[in-house]
Structure 1
Amino acid sequence: MNRYGEQAMEHWKENRPQAYRKLEDPGDFFTDLGEEIAQEIETRTRVLAGKGTEGEGYLQRLQRLNTSRLQAEGEVLRERVLLEEEPGRE
């Protein structure tokens, strides 16, 4: 299980315990979810990064790619991992 799957599993245990208990095989579920999230982050990173500009130097390219990766990761984690708490949880 990758770090995204582990993060999702911990979040569900803490904030979505009813949904977590309903999972038939949490290990498989979060392993698959982690892989899906990693792939989605990679895909979104490429889209956000776009193509470099002519004359773009190494440091500019590195900054563009890193910024795109962080943005993609934040978006995907909010959408797929950091789900709202179950009703009735405080």
Structure 2
Amino acid sequence: MNEHGRHAMETMKNHDPETYAQIADPETYFSNLGRQIQDQIWSLSEDMIPMRGQEEPMEFIGMVNMAKLRARGKVYQEMIYDSLPKEAEEMEPAYGPQEDEEN
């Protein structure tokens, strides 16, 4: 299992244990998911990497690394985080001071 599969597995264990418990073979499921995530990251990062211009080599390497990080974040959001149940505090709107706070 690659790092992406491990991350997805740990995230689901911690944030959606009911769904995790329903997976018959977590090792196989998250190994496959990890490969899918890796493929998506590679594909998306290739699209996000800018054409090589006149920038210094280290600057271009930084641009490539940022594209890979952005792709990873986007794929993680779509393939891992969006499927998790919302946390209670995330679902409650913040409308200013709480009633028990004194002004």
Pairwise TM-score range, normalised by the shorter structure: 0.7 to 0.9
- Percent identity, aligned pairs only, is 26
TM-score by length of 2: 0.75
Matched, 1:57 2:56: yes
In the TM superposition, residue 57 of structure 1 has moved relative to its aligned partner by 2.7
Which has the larger helix fraction? 1
AA matched with 2:37 = I
2-side partners of 1:84 and 1:15: how far apart? 10
2-side partners of 1:85 and 1:23: how far apart? 15
2-side partners of 1:80 and 1:42: how far apart? 14
Q: Which has the larger radius of gyration?
A: 2
SS at structure 1 position matched to 2:81:
coil
2-side partners of 1:81 and 1:2: how far apart? 14
Q: Greater relative contact order: 1 or 2 (C-alpha under 8 angstroms, separation 6 or more)?
A: 1
**Root-mean-square deviation (CA), in Å?**
1.8
When the two structures are aligned, how many residues end up with a matched partner?
Answer: 88
| Corresponding residue of 2:72 | 73
2-side partners of 1:84 and 1:21: how far apart? 15
Please list, as runs of the form range in 1=range in 2, the aligned pairs for 1:1-90 lying within 5 A after superposition: 1-53=1-53, 55-83=54-82, 85-86=84-85
Gaps of 5+ in 2: 89-103
Gaps of 5+ in 1: none
Moved over 6 A (4+): none
